[in-house]
Amino acid sequence: MAETRILSGNVVSDAVYTALESRIQFLKESSVVPGLAAVIVGENPASQVYVRNKTRKFSELQLHSETIKLPHETTQAVLLDRIVALNNDPLYHGILVQLPLPDHINRALIIDSIAVHKDVDGFHPENLGRLTAGRPRYVPCTPKGIMRILQHYDIDPSGKHAVVLGRSNIVGRPMSILLSQKQKFSNATTTICHSRTADLRALAKQADILIAALGVPEFVDQSFIKEGVTIIDVGINRVDDGSEKGYKLVGDVAFEAVQGIAGSITPVPGGVGPMTIAMLVENTVEAAENSLG
Ligand code: GUN
């Protein structure tokens, strides 16, 4: 059995940060420090970790970031006011509102309120529409980071069958668009599977590139894959393990079970996660550059 190659998001993200150094330097020489405002509503522990990891990277790179923590009870009107203030604050080139939001808040309304030129998550319908039209502004960070992993390891999707498990606006939907674009290092034939897909396993088995973004721990095992497939595992799931911390992180793929069958795979942690953060930094640097005119 051939060994399964590990696609390291840590390695690829380091290359991204190196490539950003001169751009950040140029901005600082122009008295612009790329700035991110991260808004988090409520106490979702996973969201808190994600936001902390994002802002920690901004600090490490000596970029500006601020986390705006709002209690679960925050009203939609108060949240909207905060976003409008951030839209008008020149210190912040990028704004992200961590998802999910509490149920009493209309997510679409909040996303629509983010200034399109500060929407570094790429979730605003204008930015998703631009991506769909082949004229992207900000590309959602996780799918953008996945394309960079494929590029780095020279896994060209052209002519391949890419199967995306999950149809969220954050990952699955934009992922399928990026993979099927008519341009270099894209041109895949793309299938999106979701909770209502009939015989998801049979479709997944056809994949040359399998993107698992369902949020179900270790859902994809050896029975879902064909030999040599490239697997991108987007899942970051907490499962109880009786350890001191109380849980461990696992992906949507049963990592051990696919070893020796898959051609390559992104690990969890250390795969897609670091790339999401790197693309957020890159999008924020781009937003800061755009602010220079
Ligand atoms: N929730 C899960 N992933 C993301 C992300 O990339 N950005 C935001 N804002 N929320 C998320």
pLDDT digit of tens for each residue in the chain (293 aa)?
A: 699 999 999 999 999 999 999 999 999 999 999 999 999 999 999 999 999 999 999 999 999 999 999 999 999 999 999 999 999 999 999 999 999 999 999 999 999 999 999 999 999 999 999 999 999 999 999 999 999 999 999 999 999 999 999 999 999 999 999 999 999 999 999 999 999 999 999 999 999 999 999 999 999 999 999 999 999 999 999 999 999 999 999 999 999 999 999 999 999 999 999 999 999 999 999 999 999 97
CATH 3.40.50.720 fits 139-273, yes or no: yes
Mutate to test the pocket of ligand 1, among 47, 55, 96 (most ligand atoms within 8 A of CB): 96
Atom of ligand 1 nearest to the CA of 38: 9
Entry pTM:
0.98
Domain 30-117 shares a fold with domain 139-273? yes
Domain boundaries, the chain: 30-117, 139-273
Query: E strands of 50-121, at which residues?
Result: 64-70, 94-97
Looking at residue 291, its pLDDT comes to 97
Looking at residue 44, its pLDDT comes to 96
Rounded to an integer, what distance in angstroms lies between the CA atom of residue 75 and that of residue 188?
43
Rounded to an integer, what distance in angstroms lies between the CA atom of residue 113 and that of residue 109?
6
CATH number of 30-117: 3.40.50.10860
User: SS3 for 202?
Assistant: helix
Active site residue 14: no
Query: E strands of the chain, at which residues?
Result: 5-6, 35-41, 64-70, 94-97, 161-165, 189-193, 209-212, 230-233, 237-240, 247-250, 264-265
Count of CB atoms situated within 10 Å of the CB of 244: 5
Rounded to an integer, what distance in angstroms lies between the CA atom of residue 271 and that of residue 278?
12
Per the structure block, which two tokens stand in for 222? 């050896």
Rounded to an integer, what distance in angstroms lies between the CA atom of residue 119 and that of residue 79?
16
User: SS3 for 65?
Assistant: strand
Distance from residue 261's CA to the centre of ligand 1 (Å): 31
Atom of ligand 1 nearest to the CA of 141: 6
Q: Is the peptide bond before 136 cis (omega within 30 degrees of 0)?
A: no
